[in-house]
Amino acid sequence: MLVNIVYSASSVMRSAKARTSGCSGIKMDNELLLNFFSAPPPTSQELETYHWPFGDVHTLFRHFNEAFFDNCLRDVIVQWSNKLTRSAGLCKYRGTRTEEHSPIVIILSAPLLQYRSQHDLLDVLVHEMIHAYLFRLKIFERVHHGPIWHAQAHRINQATGLTIRAYHNYYREVRYLARQRALKRIPVIDLSDSVIDLTND
């Protein structure tokens, strides 16, 4: 059984939820995830025993959205890209701070993630989901990974055993892809720009 995690900046989160429809609070009662991430936290090797198809972030996204983000991210679009080679993932907020429901898109790098572990894929996906969550709650920190972002990452790391950090350490892959790009040959699996649109469910 996971304990309720008290994290910093909670008053900011509560006020943001109060002014955002459909985001009433953070739920931690998803049975599948509670069984999957039971205490003590799983090791990297244990996480690797759960084999989702590499490109199937749809299922992972749904589970984490329900368990940790109160289903606030239902209308977020997740897509793979072959063109993203300098970062493992991006979260784009396509709108203004005053718009009620601005489009949010999470982009994952197929070239950088195709040979990484399941654990690494989860780290990147949830990292970007935290950005999307704060965008949805209209929380815009002065720095890209501010104290509220770190509080959310800590909360999920404590509950799941993941290692979500502010920056992804994929320097070797980035350098390799830069060399391959210079030689005009980038070997990647066929996940290019496939879009997972959760808005129609």
Please write the tens of the pLDDT for every residue from 148-179.
899 999 999 888 888 888 876 655 655 665 66
Q: Mean pLDDT in the chain?
A: 68
pTM comes to: 0.66
Alpha carbons 136 and 73: distance in angstroms, whole number: 8
**35 domain-assigned:** yes
Q: How far, in Å, CA of 5 to CA of 131, rounded?
A: 19
Catalytic center residues: 128
Identify whether 4 is part of a domain.
Answer: no
**Six-digit token pair at 54?**
């590499």
Tell whether 154 is covered by a domain: yes
- How high is the pLDDT of residue 103? 86
Task: Say if 3 falls within a structural domain.
Answer: no
Q: Is residue 1 part of a domain?
A: no
Per-residue CA distances from 186 to 28, 83, 175, 181 (Å)? 41, 10, 12, 6
**Tokens 């808005």 map to which residue?**
199
Q: Regarding predicted confidence, which is higher, 184 or 29?
A: 184
- Interval 80-86 mean pLDDT: 83
Is residue 73 in some structural domain?
Answer: yes
Specify the number of domains making up the chain.
1
Domain assignment present for residue 95? The answer is yes
Residue 94 placed within a domain: yes
Instruction: Give the pLDDT of residue 29.
Output: 38
Residue 13 has pLDDT above 80, yes or no: no
Residue numbers of the domain that contains 44:
10-197
Q: Residue 165: what pLDDT?
A: 86
Q: What is the pLDDT of residue 172?
A: 62
Q: What is the phi/psi pair of residue 80, to 5°?
A: -90, 150
Least confident range of 143-147, 159-163, 180-184: 180-184
Q: CA-based angle 87:46:40, to the nearest 5?
A: 105
Sign of the four-CA dihedral 74, 126, 70, 13: negative
pLDDT average, residue stretch 47-74:
74
Q: Residue 32 is which amino acid?
A: L
